[in-house]
Chains A and B, each alone.
Chain A
Amino acid sequence: MNWRQIFLVLQREYLTRVKSKGFIWATILVPIGFVVFVGIVFFISIWESDTTFEIGILDETGVMAEALTELNPARYVDYSSLSADSLRSLVQQEEITGFIQMDEENIEAGKNLELIYSGSGGIQLLTSIRTDMREVIRQERLRRANVSPEIRQIYDASIQVDSRRLTRTGDEQDDDTIFLSIIGMIMGIVIFGAIFSYGGYVTRGVIEEKTSRIIEVIVSSVKPIELLTGKMAGVGALALTQFTVWILAFLGLTAVMGPVAAMVMDPAEGLANTELSEAQSEIPALLDLPAIDTSLFVYFIIFFVLGYLLYSSLFAAIGSASDSETDTQQLMLPVGAPIFIAYFIMLHTWRSPDSTLSVVSSIIPFFSPILMITRIAITEVPFWQIGLSILLMILTFAGTMWLSARIYKIGILSYGNSVGFKDLYRWIRQ
């Protein structure tokens, strides 16, 4: 191995790609996309309750309509003076969304209520109507049962579980499990996508050298293993460049997002007072993201790099055995399958990071890059598991690289025949 040659190859692979328009655009557009996404979520949260659905109440008890209109004046309207038939026609004319008829039996005997409505509003409307009804009926029953205020208070109390994490070192922290679960899942998905896209760069790079027929000129100066190493390192450096830009952009954007959002909120005075205060209380929840440990980013880079090396060595071998991108499909299957399996396991892991399936799969080298990072983000992974998975990935990489180098050195000079697994096996043994 001659490091000067490897470096020259690396430099070419890196520079020709980093200057390409596609790369520059992708690097810029992803953070912009992130801002747009957060922006959309933010504005949705402000103007969420824009549309109101009017529900008519045909009350025969004389108390329920009042309780409901008090609870949500925008939604419930007392139509007790009208008949059920006229309310039906109001619904049909779309004057109101729906109506509910209530009598003593609903309160005393627990008879089911019936909502007659046009069907608009969706599950969210149904759920909130159901909650409202339970609430007013329960209140009325308690009142009629002459329950003492103390007991009513007991019923009113809604107990929440606040969770705090106690770390091994004895620190107690605010628990960000939900946030971290999402981060873990995102990191898993990003590595999944990155392995495929940068692996694809490597495959296409190898095929390009074959189809343009420059490969033989190159290998008359460089050993195939040096070319392979330089190529993988060059594309890897490209990936790290992109991730560095993205991570910095992410950290920078999350830091300025809170203040910016507050500035945006000020001119929004047109909103009703109650709504404004309600919205303001929601913003911090959305934008005041818990800090992500730097070590998580370090692990992310480590697992990405190892996963990239592991898979891109195989992707390079596939490229060398193919004459065109369409040729790669058959060979791509066994390499792509483990990545997809890892992805599907990840959809389980992010909800249950400590299950046996999650733990065992995260140590299997072909799954580790996706699953271990998801677990590290969410839960306290014992260090031996992290260490073991890293060690196994390094060993596996040594194996795939050896295999790939043998295929590559023969594949790059073979043209014309569609190569199957039998041929690859023969090349490896040659």
Chain B
Amino acid sequence: MITIHVDKIRKQFGSTVAVDDASFSVKKGRIFGLLGPNGAGKTTTIRMINYIILQDSGTITINGMKVSPKTQKMIGYMPEERGLYKKMKVGEQLLYLARLKGLNSTDAREKIRYWLNRFDASDWHSKKVGELSKGMSQKIQFIATIVHDPDIYIFDEPFSGLDPINSELLKKIIIELKSAGKTILFSTHRMEQVEQMCDDICLFNNGKVVLTGNLRQVKKDFGKNTVLLEFEGDPSFLDHLENVRMNNRSNNFAEIRLLNDQDPQSILVKAMESVQIQRFQLVEPSLNEIFISTVGEDNIKNMEVLTN
């Protein structure tokens, strides 16, 4: 069953086309990754799904309904640019945000109490957000996103700016939401970070959808054509390899994508001549690699961002 259906949407700001004829579907109960470099059009797309800005053409439906203030209430949204009213107390603030999402005060209060307890944050109820540490206010932000218990969750670059503890907490929440049958869509430019979490993906580049589908299937289609090499010794032999692309390279590690049916054995031979091999593994390509080979190196706007 399809929860979010995006059909041929387009959005233009002045002369810039931010999203161009993008289509994809998010299935119920799955984790969907919207991936691509910064400036690819992910946030614009997410804002249109959230009915914050309107598309110039195309349609977006949530559970079959066109996006509207009504569909907004079915979504818990955590934007990339996030924050809270600094001078408001935690409890009042959560109550306000929950009521804006359509809850009545009684239900809202009960849910707020539940979630504050869950995060060991009951003591913060009467504290002003400005008095909280950054990590604490991030937790309050999570609660603000999920307090009205929607069926759909959208996180825009959720892990950027989170401390490690809260990153783990958020991952846990996402997995937990999924097992409760909720639908989750999140965007990120750090592809390696989310490989383990996503069921389905959609790759964005320059406002266009370049690839979408089930992550396992996508990877399978690309075949086992990537070598992971771990070694000790002088890494300069890597520069002399032909018909390959280096994706992730350091002094004792390399992720090598084989091009033009290059035989992995020949790489092993060359490596053995120059260094001490500690690991040699033939694997499916990483999402990064899939993205690069789909759009072509020259077409990526923000290469640096993508690979670091």
A residues contacting B by CB (< 8 A) are 2, 5, 8-9, 12, 16, 208-209, 212-214, 216-223, 413, 415, 426, 430
Contact = CB atoms under 8 A, between A and B. Distances in A.
Interface string B28-60: 000000000000000000010011110000000
Contact of A214 (B50, B51, B83): B83
28 contacts: A2-B69, A5-B69, A5-B100, A8-B100, A12-B96, A16-B85, A16-B87, A16-B88, A208-B86, A213-B81, A213-B82, A213-B83, A214-B83, A214-B84, A216-B77, A217-B77, A217-B79, A217-B84, A217-B144, A218-B97, A220-B50, A220-B52, A220-B75, A220-B79, A221-B72, A221-B73, A413-B53, A415-B81
B36 to A, nearest CB: 20
Question: Nearest 8 A-B pairs (CB), nearest first?
Answer: A213-B83, A221-B100, A216-B79, A212-B83, A220-B77, A213-B81, A214-B83, A220-B50
Interface of B: 13-14, 47, 50-53, 69, 72-73, 75, 77-79, 81-88, 96-97, 99-101, 144
Contacts of B47: 216, 413
A430 B88 CA distance: 34
A237 B82 CA distance: 29
Contacts of B81: 213, 216, 415
Contacts of A212: 83-86
Nearest to A12: B96
Nearest to B148: A221
Contacts of A223: 69
Contacts of B85: 16, 208-209, 212, 214
B50 to A, nearest CB: 5
Nearest to A209: B85
User: Which of B73, B100, B101 has the most CB atoms of chain A within a 10 A radius of its CB?
Assistant: B100
Contacts of B72: 220-221
Nearest to B49: A220
A333 B52 CA distance: 31
B45 to A, nearest CB: 14
A5 to B, nearest CB: 6
B167 to A, nearest CB: 19
Nearest to B79: A216
Contact of A217 (B69, B82, B86, B99): B82
B284 to A, nearest CB: 36
Contacts of B87: 16
A219 B50 CA distance: 9
